[in-house]
């Protein structure tokens, strides 16, 4: 019970005309402490953003199911009343840099104003103090301090991303969820941002949940990796374990599909398409695409099997604790 964040059996479904969209299904993971980062990696549509929204309790109007447990710093969040959640958790303990943070700023207000807003509204600090703090943060994330007075449309995509990160840090939360913080940026800016994230981890002892579809990028920033497939975490472990000893067939395929600069292997595409989350396949959700599928796979969804210390995979292959290689 020392972990900072402990998510247990989190389930989050959208209602759709055809039924439920099972975007997050029985997801469990934990994040040990500050100064570390967990990467959530998965294809587009696998439910990564939904998971972030579920943790932040930013529910759309069409929620079909929302249950499980989220323990943050020893406090259970799902049972918390909306008002308390808003006042005590949001941005104070849990901040979010959303996917497409380019649009995360209100277009008609100055950037600085938006950064200090939570600070001023909660009455924690006066305007002057808040401004000094914000400018300090802007400088920290590598922006000129006059960004404070600019409007969002006057910033480039990379600058907005940094400003958004500064905004997320204003209340000094222990944990920040970053949803695809680099996906719309070009490679060099991307590197700057990942370097910034690493600094944040180290210098501010920040815990980060880093969401991306790019497993290589995730491995650069994160200490732990969770592979998301069709609303489930199919494999989780330390970055080293997952990258060097990928166990779940999906993880293996995912790694094989990455083009490598200094390798003679050609990238392999995963055959088939990701499942429709309205009607995920029965049994193991990966089984229609899995080259290793065998009898139980189509029958029953595998639970998470523990492999080596901390590494887990949802795959029937590991029922007996054996690894096929």
Ligand X SMILES: Nc1ncnc2c1ncn2[C@@H]1O[C@H](COP(=O)(O)OP(=O)(O)OP(=O)(O)O)[C@@H](O)[C@H]1O
Helices (H), 150-279: 157-169, 187-204, 215-221, 239-244, 249-256
Tokens coding 39: 């990467």
In this structure, what are the phi and psi dihedrals at residue 314, rounded to the nearest 5 degrees?
Answer: -100, 90
Number of residues near another protein (by CB under 8 A) = 31
The answer to whether 7 and 94 are in contact (CB under 8 A) is: no
Q: For the CB of residue 276, give the shortest distance to ligand X in the complex, in Å.
A: 8
Tokens of 143: 């922006």
Q: Nearest approach, Cβ of 277 to ligand X (angstroms)? A: 5
Residue 293 near which of ligand SF4, another protein, ligand X, none (CB within 5-8 Å, type-dependent): ligand SF4
Instruction: Please tell me whether residue 284 binds ligand SF4 under the rule CB under 6 A.
Output: yes
46 near Mg ion, judged by CB under 5 A:
no
Residue 170 or 242 with smaller CB distance to another protein = 170
Binding mask 49-88 for another protein (x = CB under 8 A): -------x-x-xxx-----------------------xx-
Question: What is the sign of the dihedral through the CA atoms of 99, 102, 108 and 109?
Answer: positive
Q: Is 6 helix (H, G, I), strand (E, B) or coil?
A: strand
Residue whose C-alpha is closest to residue 41's, from 276, 209, 175: 209
Q: Which of 169, 287, 311, 312 binds ligand SF4 (CB under 6 A)?
A: 287
Q: Which of 5, 297, 304, 312 forms a contact with ligand SF4 (CB under 6 A)?
A: 297
98 in contact with another protein (CB under 8 A)? yes
- What is the number of helices (H) and of strands (E) in the chain? 10, 12
Q: Tokens 């940026």, residue?
A: 185
Q: According to CB under 6 A, which one of 34, 35, 45, 296 is a site residue for ligand X?
A: 45
285-303 CB burial, b ≥16 within 10 A, e <16: bbbebbeebeeebeeebbe
**Footprint (CB under 6 A) of ligand X, residues 263-322:** 277
Scanning the structure block, which residue is given the tokens 């402990």? 6
Binding mask 206-225 for ligand X (x = CB under 6 A): -------x------------
Tokens 């006057």 correspond to 154
CB 93 within 8 A of CB 73: yes
SS3 236: strand
Please select the residue that binds ligand SF4; options are 290, 304, 307, 312, rule is CB under 6 A.
Answer: 290
Q: Please give the residues from 132 up to 171 whose contact with another protein meets the rule CB under 8 A.
A: 151, 153-154, 167
- Name the site residues for another protein (rule: CB under 8 A): 56, 58, 60-62, 86-87, 89-92, 95-96, 98, 100-101, 103-109, 117-118, 121-122, 151, 153-154, 167
- Name the site residues for ligand SF4 (rule: CB under 6 A): 248-249, 284, 286-287, 290, 292-293, 297, 302, 315-317
């Amino acid at each position: 019970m020392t972990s900072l964040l402990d998510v247990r059996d989190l389930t989050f479904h959208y209602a759709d005309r055809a039924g439920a969209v099972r975007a997050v299904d029985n997801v469990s993971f934990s994040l040990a402490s500050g100064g570390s980062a967990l990467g959530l990696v998965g294809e587009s549509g696998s439910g990564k953003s939904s998971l972030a929204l579920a943790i932040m309790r930013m529910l759309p109007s069409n929620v079909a199911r929302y249950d499980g447990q989220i323990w943050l710093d020893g406090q259970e969040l799902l049972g918390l009343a909306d008002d308390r959640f808003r006042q005590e958790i949001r941005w104070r303990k849990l901040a979010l840099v959303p996917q497409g943070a380019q649009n995360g700023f209100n277009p008609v207000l100055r950037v600085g104003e938006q950064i200090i807003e939570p600070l001023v509204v909660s009455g924690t600090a006066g305007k002057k103090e808040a401004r000094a703090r914000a400018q300090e943060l802007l400088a920290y994330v590598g922006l000129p301090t006059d960004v404070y007075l600019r409007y969002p449309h006057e910033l480039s995509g990379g600058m907005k991303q940094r400003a958004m990160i500064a905004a997320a840090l204003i209340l000094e939360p222990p944990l920040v969820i970053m949803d695809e913080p680099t996906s719309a940026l070009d490679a060099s800016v991307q590197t700057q941002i990942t370097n910034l994230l690493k600094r944040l981890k180290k210098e501010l002892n920040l815990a980060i949940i880093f969401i991306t579809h790019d497993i290589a990028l995730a491995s650069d920033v994160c200490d732990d990796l969770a592979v998301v497939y069709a609303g489930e975490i199919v494999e989780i472990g330390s970055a080293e374990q997952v990258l060097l000893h990928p166990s779940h067939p999906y993880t293996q395929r995912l790694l094989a599909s990455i083009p490598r600069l200094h390798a003679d292997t050609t990238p392999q595409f995963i055959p088939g398409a990701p499942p429709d989350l309205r009607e995920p396949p029965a049994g193991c959700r990966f089984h229609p695409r899995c080259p290793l599928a065998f009898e139980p796979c189509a029958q029953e969804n595998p639970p998470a099997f523990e492999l080596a210390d901390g590494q887990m995979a949802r795959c029937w292959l590991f029922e007996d604790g054996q690894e096929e290689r």
